[in-house]
């Protein structure tokens, strides 16, 4: 590789500029101005169909033949002329813009109409329709009001649901930032800046550090270009893109000759040929794959549908039975009135009109609470599914890890740890070399990363004060700055910059010559000058007895660096590399490598000769000395786990949730992170589902072949043999026939060959790492888990996560660094990209399910007391104890406050210590819950209400026998005189008044009973006295509002008349209080039995 002159200014002016490309394309630049007049002198040949495949396997000469209109110079690609303007415009018009087709959106009108397909709303519409249809036959005002109110309720609920969906859709504006805004292309031999969306196949695009690749490009000339494809492939390591063709068998996604759309250029520069645009790019194909995945029905949708079916069957069956009872008893007379009083009212009473509003409110409140915790909920009903999750399939890069390379450890002066560098100044001596300072200097100067200009750093100028580096400067550096460039170099610079500002260090050591890192050389070197009194390199020169002001600094693969070294620095002295040091080196290297960390070695060589002769001494790579260097240390770099992730995964384990890692990274790297975050226990053996032949082939494919004649690969001495990586991990990596332990790593190349039995065996493990996966693999993993009955949550941030996010029961995307494809496919978005937030989501999901059960148990309880008056009317002819409008005020007004307040109820203490619920058995509406609401507490309330009903009539001298089989002949307007067995007679007006007081008594008894009951539904297992009783202020407010509304409806003249009520007697509160106390006693005894005898048959029947 030809050497290049230094390009960096060591003391940049403010602000700090990013490093310039190592090679430039010396062509004139002008603004984009289409040619006038006749067609261009060049031919407009374009005979190859778009899109093209296999371009990464073609040589540059073949590409020049395949793309004649691009005018590629095969002998000197950087001198290629590019497309003619007319040809580019023609292709743009014919094939369209370079944009991803956004997902199809359902028109808002259709979305709004679909809201009214909700089964609950359909039931309410049927009841409202029947009320309006029955009004002409039985022209009671309450029937008309009932029908109108029901339709208003339907309209309000449908509009509320539509508004929520519309808000979520507006927040997620898909694919908004997927493409680069501008790009530099070659058109007619000139550099032209155009909108990225105007790129066409055949364009020649310039790519440089900091650019986002605007389309899929086949690189035809590269100067050390490195790109990050984490969002596409899942690998955080930058990939070097080269102009050489790939092997014909090489998958396109693994190509080293292609720069994919959306990838970020981190270092170097290149000229690329656009081979795919828009939907034809790799990103576009994955996005379309995500769009083709059918959205699964959430567990909440399934449970609500099941609940609605139950209510519908119950309501219709009961209405039919009650209607038939009335018709048979009345021998077919007044069938229309019986239909209205029986069938219609039973439907209205059985349908919990407040449940849809309560469920929607509960979900919206939870979504708002989660939003405060940086969790954006796109689908409200998806939150509950997260609570039922039994498997979380998580991406690694950017989800479990920080997606930023960091120096995590070091080996220097034959010792370990980053804390070695904290006292570098204290260990410095004018004539004693410091290995720590030498290593920090090499890491800073032999490094092309710079501080990000957007980080707002203060640029340091070259001066004596800067060289001295005062305390204030050091303090500022301690704060840390964002770096820009190659991730590994950024990690090194971020670390050393905290020790001393890198601008000051580079100012002391101006670079005279540089050979950048390449996959071929596996090292990076610079030649620098230093002053006579220099405390770092100068001290090394004085200790070595060498009179020089020049040194060569080297960093690279540790084994290569050590090959060049004959000495090392230890204890302030220069010592020979002996077997003891080699063993210590190999031990440190193996330890870092076994943890999946990238390891870099650092060395220094003092150069002889005067400064004026330096340019004559070294002018190319071949003249770089490769012997007698001085080794100074090792640095371990990796993308570390997020700080909160280990704790989050531990909580998942306690909650019975298995966390699988699904990543595109190498198995060793993935396993190392899995151990650090707790997916796999540190001491647990790991089985590997792979053949030794496949593993060996993968290792050989990644190891460059040595060229015996090449000096860079001819070591001066034999290095010690490294311990195999698998042995160093301490994991029992085995062949595909030997699967051990309770953890396993499964490489992607084996997934396609897995049998059903092997899938079952693997998915029974508690800790699984899927490495080197593709988007199709992630889909397969998700589907296989779902086939086993698992509720699967998939987390991820890359384009490659889109299909699995949509296939999963609950898709969780990263909001800050996630791709738009992932955000569009997900149900939930973590706005802070913190995996730990998913535990908050799980907790809220479980809390939603618990609180929904509590809400339904509370709400269904008052249905039997509402239906009983209708049954008494039809079966025994008794006057109705409740009017239909009173039922509506209970369902839609008085009960709404307490029911919604359960949305704010905090979780029970053991909620995250319980296993995921069994979705087949632990249903939202189970038999124990129905029995509790209808046969236990419901019956208790209904009996007390009926006793209060009879007692109220008795206060007027009217006994039960006097009321039997009255069949509406009395207690209505215009009724004939009614005389009781006690001899008291009442006119029609008095009868209506008495019935109003009776209805108020039933009404008050039911509501007061429920006001007590709401406190008992705060917990399902633990005693109410061990749960915060008054912490839920919304429940206190809800009960107060409930009682106030009740008082308004029975005490305000005129309003109570419309509702069929009247001002009750003073003792009207007593029956409700007595019933409430009985409910409390019953629930505490029930919970006591459940806690102490959880597996007994009575406990199973009583625990809902």
In the block, tokens 């919304």 appear at 1034
Per the CB < 8 A criterion, the answer to whether 765 and 743 are in contact is: yes
Of 1017, 789, 1099, nearest to 917 by C-alpha is: 789
CB 975, CB 988: distance < 8 Å: yes
Burial class of 1028 by CB neighbour count within 10 A (0 to 12, 13 to 18, 19+)? exposed
Whole-number Å distance between alpha carbons of 332 and 324: 9
**Contacts of 407 by beta carbon, 8 Å cutoff, 6+ apart:** 418, 491, 492, 494, 495, 635, 636, 637
Rg (CA), the chain: 38
Q: How far apart are CA 215 and CA 98, in angstroms?
A: 8
Chain centroid, CA 55 distance in Å: 35
What whole-number distance in Å separates Cα of residue 436 and Cα of residue 424? 7
How many C-beta atoms lie closer than 10 Å to residue 691's C-beta?
Answer: 15
Other CB atoms within a 10 A radius of the CB of residue 981 amount to 11
- Give the number of other Cβ atoms within 10 Å of residue 389's Cβ: 27
Closest by CA position to 7, among listed 271, 272, 270, 267: 267
Nearest to 535 by CA among 631, 444, 610, 441: 441
Give the separation between CA 60 and CA 82, rounded to whole angstroms.
14
553 near 525, Cβ under 8 Å?
yes
Q: Which residues pair with 631 in a beta bridge?
A: 568, 603
Cis peptide bond N-terminal to 51, omega within 30: yes
Determine the Cα–Cα distance for residues 992 and 1000; give it in Å rounded to an integer: 12
Size of the chain, expressed as the number of residues it contains: 1104
Q: ∠270-274-277 over CA atoms, to 5°?
A: 135
Measured CA to CA, the distance from residue 43 to residue 603 in angstroms comes to: 55
Q: Would you call 207 helix, strand, or coil by DSSP?
A: strand
Residue 967 annotated as catalytic: no
DSSP 401: B
Instruction: Please list, in sequence order, all residues whose beta carbon lies within 8 angstroms of the beta carbon of residue 214, skipping any fewer than 6 positions away.
Output: 98, 179, 180, 183, 196, 199, 205, 261
> Which one is catalytic: 395, 452, 497, 833?
395
841 is written with which tokens? 């989501």
How far, in Å, CA of 633 to CA of 603, rounded?
Answer: 7
Q: Residue holding tokens 């087949």?
A: 920
The per-type count for the chain, helices as H runs and strands as E runs, is 43, 29
Contact of 361 with 1034, CB cutoff 8 Å: no
| Euclidean distance between CA atoms 503 and 450, whole angstroms | 9
* 551 Cβ contact list (under 8 Å, min separation 6): 527, 528, 530, 537, 540, 541, 604, 605, 606, 607
- The greatest distance separating any two alpha carbons of the chain, rounded to the nearest whole angstrom, comes to 133
Give the containing element (helix H, strand E) for 382: helix 382-387
Strand-strand pairing, 391-394 and 792-796: parallel
List, as one string, the DSSP characters of 709-723: T-GGG--SSPPPPPP
- Using DSSP's 3-state secondary structure scheme, residue 271 falls into strand
Which residues are known catalytic residues?
395
């Amino acid at each position: 590789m030809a050497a290049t002159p230094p390009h960096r200014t060591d003391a940049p002016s403010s602000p700090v500029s990013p490093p310039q490309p190592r090679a430039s394309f010396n062509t004139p630049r002008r603004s984009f101005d289409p040619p006038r007049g006749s067609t261009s002198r060049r031919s407009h040949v374009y005979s190859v169909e778009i899109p093209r495949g296999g371009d990464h396997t073609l040589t540059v000469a073949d590409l020049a033949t395949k793309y004649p209109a691009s005018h590629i110079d095969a002998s000197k690609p950087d001198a290629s002329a590019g497309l003619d303007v007319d040809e580019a415009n023609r292709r743009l018009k014919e094939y369209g813009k370079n944009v991803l087709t956004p997902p199809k959106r359902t028109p808002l009108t259709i979305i709004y109409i679909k809201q009214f397909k909700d089964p609950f709303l359909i039931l309410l519409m049927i009841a409202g329709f029947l009320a309006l249809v029955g009004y002409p036959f039985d022209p009671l005002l309450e029937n008309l009001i009932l029908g109108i109110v029901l339709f208003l309720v339907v309209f309000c609920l449908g509009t509320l649901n539509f508004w929520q969906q519309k808000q979520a859709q507006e927040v997620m504006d898909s694919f908004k930032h997927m493409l680069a805004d501008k790009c530099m292309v070659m058109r007619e031999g000139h550099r032209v800046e155009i909108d990225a969306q105007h790129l066409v196949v055949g364009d020649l695009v310039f790519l440089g550090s900091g650019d986002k690749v605007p389309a899929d490009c086949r690189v035809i000339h590269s100067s050390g270009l490195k790109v990050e494809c984490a969002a596409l492939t899942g690998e955080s390591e930058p990939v070097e893109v080269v102009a050489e063709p790939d092997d014909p068998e090489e998958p396109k996604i693994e190509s080293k000759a292609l720069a994919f759309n959306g990838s970020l250029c981190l270092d170097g520069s290149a000229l690329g040929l656009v081979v795919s645009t828009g939907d034809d790019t790799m990103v576009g194909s994955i996005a379309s794959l995500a769009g083709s995945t059918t959205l699964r029905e959430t567990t909440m949708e399934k449970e609500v549908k099941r609940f609605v079916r139950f209510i519908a069957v119950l309501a219709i069956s009961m209405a039919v039975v009650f209607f038939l009872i009335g018709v048979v008893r009345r021998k077919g007379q007044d069938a229309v009135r019986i239909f209205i009083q029986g069938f219609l009212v039973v439907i209205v009473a059985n349908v919990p009109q407040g449940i849809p509003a309560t469920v929607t409110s509960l979900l919206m409140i939870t979504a708002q609470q989660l939003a405060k915790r940086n969790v954006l909920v796109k689908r409200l009903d998806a939150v509950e599914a997260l609570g039922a999750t039994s498997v979380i399939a998580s991406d690694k890069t950017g989800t479990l890890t920080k997606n930023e390379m960091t120096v995590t450890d070091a080996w220097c002066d034959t010792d370990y740890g980053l804390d070695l560098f904290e006292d570098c100044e204290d260990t410095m001596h004018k004539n004693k070399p410091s290995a720590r300072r030498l290593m920090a200097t090499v890491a800073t100067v032999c490094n092309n990363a710079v501080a990000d200009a957007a980080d707002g750093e203060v640029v340091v100028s070259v001066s004596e004060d800067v060289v001295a580096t005062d305390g204030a400067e050091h303090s500022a550096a301690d704060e840390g700055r964002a770096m820009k460039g190659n991730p590994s170099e950024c990690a090194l610079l971020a670390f050393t910059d905290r020790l001393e500002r890198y601008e000051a260090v580079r100012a002391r050591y101006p670079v005279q010559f540089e050979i950048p890192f390449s996959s071929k050389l596996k090292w990076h070197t610079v030649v620098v000058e230093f002053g006579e009194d220099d405390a770092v390199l100068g001290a090394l020169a004085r200790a070595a007895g060498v009179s020089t002001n020049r040194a060569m600094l080297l960093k690279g693969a540790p084994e290569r660096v050590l090959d060049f070294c004959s000495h090392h620095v230890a204890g302030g002295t220069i010592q020979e590399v002996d077997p003891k040091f080699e063993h210590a080196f190999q031990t440190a290297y193996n330890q870092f490598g076994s943890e999946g960390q990238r390891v870099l070695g650092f060395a220094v060589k003092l150069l002889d000769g005067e400064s004026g002769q330096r340019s004559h001494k070294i002018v190319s790579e071949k003249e770089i000395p490769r012997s007698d260097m001085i080794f100074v240390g090792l640095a371990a770099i990796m993308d570390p786990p997020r700080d909160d992730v280990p704790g989050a995964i531990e909580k998942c384990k306690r909650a019975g949730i298995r966390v699988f890692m699904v990543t595109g990274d190498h198995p060793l790297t993935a396993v190392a992170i899995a151990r650090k975050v707790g997916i796999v226990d540190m001491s647990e053996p790991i089985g590997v589902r792979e053949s030794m032949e496949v593993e060996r082939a993968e290792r050989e494919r990644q190891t460059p072949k040595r060229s015996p004649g090449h000096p860079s690969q001819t070591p001066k001495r034999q290095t010690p043999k490294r311990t195999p990586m698998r042995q160093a991990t301490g994991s029992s990596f085995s062949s595909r026939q030997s699967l051990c332990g309770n953890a396993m790593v499964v490489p992607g190349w084996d997934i396609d060959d897995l049998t059903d039995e092997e899938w079952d065996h693997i998915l029974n493990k508690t800790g699984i790492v899927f490495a080197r996966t593709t988007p199709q693999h992630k889909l397969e993993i998700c589907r296989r888990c779902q086939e086993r009955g698992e509720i699967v949550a998939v987390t991820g941030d890359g384009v490659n996560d889109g299909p699995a996010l949509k296939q999963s029961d609950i898709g969780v995307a990263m909001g800050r660094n996630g791709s738009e494809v992932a955000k569009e496919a997900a149900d939930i978005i973590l706005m802070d990209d913190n995996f730990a937030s998913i535990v908050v989501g799980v907790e809220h999901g479980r809390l939603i399910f618990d609180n929904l059960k509590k809400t339904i148990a509370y709400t269904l309880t008052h249905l039997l007391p509402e239906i009983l008056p209708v049954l008494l009317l039809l079966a025994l002819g008794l006057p109705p104890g409740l009017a239909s409008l009173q039922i509506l005020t209970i369902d839609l007004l008085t009960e709404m406050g307490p029911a919604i307040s359960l949305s704010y109820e905090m979780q029970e203490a053991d909620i995250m210590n319980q296993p995921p619920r069994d979705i087949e058995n632990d249903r939202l509406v189970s038999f124990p819950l129905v029995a509790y609401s209808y046969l236990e507490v419901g019956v208790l309330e209904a009996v007390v209400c009926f006793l209060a009903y009879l007692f109220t009539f008795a206060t007027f001298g009217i006994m039960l026998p006097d009321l039997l089989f009255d069949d509406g002949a009395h207690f209505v307007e215009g009724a004939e005189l009614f005389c009781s067995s006690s001899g008291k007679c009442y006119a029609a007006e008095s009868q209506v008044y008495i019935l109003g007081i009776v209805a108020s008594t039933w009404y008050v008894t039911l509501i007061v009973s429920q006001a007590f009951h709401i406190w008992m539904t705060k917990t399902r297992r633990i005693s109410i006295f061990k749960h915060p009783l008054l912490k839920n202020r919304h429940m206190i407010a809800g009960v107060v509002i409930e009682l106030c509304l009740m008082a308004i409806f029975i005490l305000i003249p005129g309003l109570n008349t419309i509702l069929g009520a009247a001002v009750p007697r003073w003792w009207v509160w007593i029956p409700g209080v007595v019933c409430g106390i009985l409910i409390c006693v019953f629930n505490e005894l029930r919970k006591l039995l459940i806690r102490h005898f959880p597996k007994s048959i009575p406990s199973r029947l009583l625990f809902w």
